[in-house]
Amino acid sequence: MARVDAALRKAGKTPFAATPPSREPRLGAAPEHFTRQEIEEFLSRQATGWDPRVREMLSIPERLLVAREASNVLYSEDDRFGVAKVYGDLAHGRTPSEMPGYGIAIDGSHMDSVYFVLTDPARKIIVRERLSCIHSPVDFEWQAVAGKIEQAVEHARRTPEGFVTIVNGSLPGMIPVRK
């Protein structure tokens, strides 16, 4: 993440985590519970345009476990942190084969970009969207993420059992998954 922050600063953009939240996920620490408010505080700093619609679209549970890896922050409803496997699969062009519990990943492991990943089994959706890129002349917004989630939720209403809707920066599609 430091590499992405430095590149963003060089490009004259706001670094990934320019303003740390009141309680920041600690690198290498054991997973700990964060409240919805603490999670929203952190997420709101990662891109512009945070508002009630974004909050509603994310539908964050009251408490999630938090873990911080080298360039990523993971929020998960269980200690398996299945969202990490999903963002790894998507980042490498693979289709996720399992649907983990509710999770959010802020994936800063790419040379030039930071991505947001959401897994939400209750709504049968997986969403991946870019939050920032050092090559982009415009700042990315949470409104784009909320729009992708809304698109996924609408598509998921028509998704048959045993499948989930996935939006990975493009039009929604369906993939079969194991729970």
Looking at residue 50, its pLDDT comes to 93
Q: What does the DSSP 8-state code read for residue 158? A: T
Strand 72-76's sheet: what is its strand order? 32-35, 63-68, 72-76, 103-107, 113-120, 125-133, 163-168, 173-176
Nearest by Cα to 78 from 58, 47, 101, 97: 101
Number of Cβ atoms within 10 Å of the Cβ of 112: 15
Rounded Cα gap, residues 96 and 177, in angstroms: 7
Given a contact cutoff of 8 angstroms between Cβ atoms, the answer to whether 85 and 70 are in contact is no
Sign of CA dihedral 149, 129, 85, 41: negative
Each residue's pLDDT tens digit, 10-59? 555 555 444 444 577 777 778 999 999 999 999 998 888 999 999 999 99
Q: Give me the tens of pLDDT residue by residue for the chain, a chain 179 residues long.
A: 455 555 555 555 555 444 444 577 777 778 999 999 999 999 998 888 999 999 999 999 999 999 988 788 999 999 999 999 999 999 888 999 889 999 999 988 777 888 899 999 999 999 999 888 777 766 678 999 999 999 999 999 999 999 999 999 777 899 998 76
Rounded Cα gap, residues 149 and 35, in angstroms: 21
Domain edges within the chain? 2-176
Rounded Cα gap, residues 62 and 51, in angstroms: 18
